[in-house]
Structures are given as structure tokens and as C-alpha cells.
Amino acid sequence: MYQKFSTEGGPRRYTYDMAMQCGIDGRSGTGAAIPDEESYYLWQEWYDHLIDKLHNHPPGKKHITDIDYTKVDVSKLPEDLDKYCKSTRIRAARNISGYGLPLGTSRAERREVEAICSEALAGLTGDLAGKYYPLVGMDKAVEDQLQADHFLFQKPDPNAMIFSCGGVRDWPEGRGIFHNDNKTFLVWVNEEDQMRVISMQPGGNVPEVFARWAKGVQEVEKVIVAKGKKYMYDEHLGQFSSCVSNVGTGLRASMHIKLPKIIGAVGQDALEAFCWDKLDMQCRGTGGEHTAADAEGTVDISNKRRIGNSEVELVQVMTDGVCILINLEKKAEAGEDVKAAMEAQAALG
């Protein structure tokens, strides 16, 4: 494939060698970057091969989209959910067709994308109303507050996928952060994707978090459509993203839940393996991948799939998995053999 594609470049002078650089560097675990729509179609055989290996989503298979939050069944969530759940968060990327993704974009395109996004976000009303903060010229007091709220994204370090692939050029120009007045809706502009849309709040009210995320995505889309533009989308790929690990829905639905008894009984490594192999979920520390649970035994639980399932289905996976884990934690609290209980749960399939 290298011999076939390395002589072909897309319209933004982004080469095949540049797209595979993160795989050559080998520091992020991701081996392929997508600089724009044109390059995806130019090198589609390569991308689709990797996506199939990564996501079990073969060429020709159509992706499913469904953001109707009312379809999520939360009836099995326990009444004392908030005793275990600290917070719930849903995030996913959106990119505007006709412009390069942040890895391959020009300085002029990045500025134009920021202008479109900031205009759209400024028009949000009701519980989504808030303010956009460009990184360039940011007031020190604002910067300190955004850092205290854990909202402010930093220039990626050399271990990050986008660092190897050109995503930090001209930093911090053309980048910024939006959050609503209630600090429950957040959008990162021109970081790894043109927009990373995030809905979050304390506790475990999944429908409320999902509904806010869906509303925000749709309201921003209205402004984009009014300008004669649209989100990047492909029937096979779903939503575009700079990283092949986030195509499809690009959606990550997560809860921070306290599971100290399970971790004390079997260890975090065993819990992570159980979630990955048996629940179709990812478990990691609250600081991200390869970090430990906090002092209360809090871990971050989320869907591991991104493509081939709809947004509703992936939020349901997270919701059902949390129900199972809290039930196991309660068994451990009651003195039951949690290892045996996990094995019994695994046998249920």
C-alpha cells in the first residue's frame, strides 16, 4: 500500500508519509491520521483496512446514526446511583465539510472554521447559552479559571497523535473553548477536531446529559447549514475525525463511578480486563489511560466501540455496563466473593 499511495497527495499538500507519521513515531498507539475528506477517499483502501482491523467494521458496511436520547433505557439504573456515580459525560467530534481537519488545514482555513464555530456557538440560547474564549489573547484570570474547571486544553505533548501529524502548527492561533453559563456544555474548537462537543454534569442523569449534547450538535448544525455548509459524513465512515480511532460516532459516553471494593478484591487490571472483554467497555483511571483509580476507588467507565453502532446504542452500552458494575460493587460490600460474581456475570455473555 505504501508503494501504491506514497506518490499521491491530497489538495492541501498533506502526504501519505505525513498521515502515517504517528504510526512511525509509535508513541500514541494510533497509526493513521486523516487530514481531510479528499485524502480519505484518495487512500480509502488503506484507511478502510485499518478501520476494519481496529473496529471490526469491514469495507462496504454502513454506519448507523441515531441521536434520539429518548430511546436510551435507564430503567435498570439503581435508585442510589449517585452514591456511586460522581459524574456523567458525553463527547463526540464534529467537522465541517469543505475544510481540512486540524492536522491538514491551512492557517486561513483554521481561522475561517473558528469564525464559523464561534458565530454558531454565540447564537446558542437557553441552557446552552455561554461564551467563546479564543486561546490567542486570553486574559490570565480567564485562563486560570478555565484551568481550575479542567476545561482548558493544552498544547499536545510529543506523545499525542496530533503532535506527530501536524496538528499543533501555528499554536495557539485559531483555537478556543466555549462553555455555557452552567458549565455543563463545552466545545473545543480546532484541537484534534474542528469541534469536540462535550456535555457533562455531576451525578448519573444519562438522558439529561445526552439530550443536552444532541441539542448542542443540532443547534450548531443549523447555523452551518444556513451558510450552505454541512458536517463531514460518509455512509461507511460515519462522522469524520482526525484519528481513525474516533470515526463513526466518535462518541464516548462515560461515568466516573466508585468501585473501591471490586478494586480491592481483584485489582484494577482485572477490572479493566473484565470491562473490555465481557462488557464491551473501557475502564481506566480518572486521569486517563494507564492511570490508577483515585483514593475513593473512582474509575472512568465508557463504551469502547465508536463505529458500526449508533450513538443511542453506545450510550446504552455504557448505561447497562454501569448497572452491572454497581451491582457487583454492592455484592462486594455485602461480603460476597466478587471474583466469583464477575465470573458468573461473564458466563451470562
User: Cβ of 148: how many Cβ atoms within 10 Å?
Assistant: 9
- The CA–CA distances, whole Å, from 296 to 12, 154, 285, 292 equal 49, 27, 11, 11
CA–CA gap between residue 174 and residue 224 (Å, rounded): 18
Q: Residue 135: exposed, middle, or buried by beta-carbon count in 10 A (0-12, 13-18, 19+)?
A: buried
Q: Fill in the DSSP letter of residue 193.
A: S
Pick from 234-248, 272-286, 318-332, 335-349: least confident = 335-349
| Residue-wise burial string across 4-33, b where 16 or more C-beta atoms lie within 10 A, e elsewhere | ebeeebbebebbbebbbbbbebeebebbbb
Per-residue model confidence (pLDDT) at position 346: 84
Model pLDDT for residues 43-56, shown as the tens digit of each residue = 999 999 999 998 99
Per-residue model confidence (pLDDT) at position 9: 86
Per-residue model confidence (pLDDT) at position 28: 66
pLDDT at 295 over 80: yes
Residue 225's contacts (CB-CB under 8 Å, 6 or more residues apart) are: none
CA–CA gap between residue 196 and residue 267 (Å, rounded): 33
- Per-residue pLDDT band at 263 (split at 50, 70, 90): very high
Per-residue model confidence (pLDDT) at position 13: 92
Per-residue model confidence (pLDDT) at position 159: 81
Per-residue model confidence (pLDDT) at position 349: 65
pLDDT at 155 over 90: no
Domain 1-349 CATH class label: alpha beta
Terminal CA-to-CA distance of the chain, rounded, Å? 38
pLDDT at 29 over 80: no
CA–CA gap between residue 95 and residue 196 (Å, rounded): 9
Per-residue model confidence (pLDDT) at position 27: 72
Mean pLDDT value of segment 164-182: 93
Per-residue model confidence (pLDDT) at position 286: 86
Mean pLDDT value of segment 277-294: 89
pLDDT at 17 over 90: yes
Per-residue model confidence (pLDDT) at position 247: 95
Domain extent listing, the chain: 1-349
CA–CA gap between residue 300 and residue 339 (Å, rounded): 20
Mean pLDDT value of segment 59-69: 95
Pick from 30-34, 195-199, 248-252: least confident = 30-34
pLDDT at 152 over 90: no
Query: Mean pLDDT, the chain, as a whole number?
Result: 93
Q: Fill in the DSSP letter of residue 96.
A: B
Pick from 109-113, 137-141, 230-234: least confident = 137-141
Structure pTM? Answer: 0.92
Mean pLDDT value of segment 284-310: 91
CA–CA gap between residue 315 and residue 124 (Å, rounded): 25
The rounded Cα 250 to chain-centroid distance in angstroms is 5
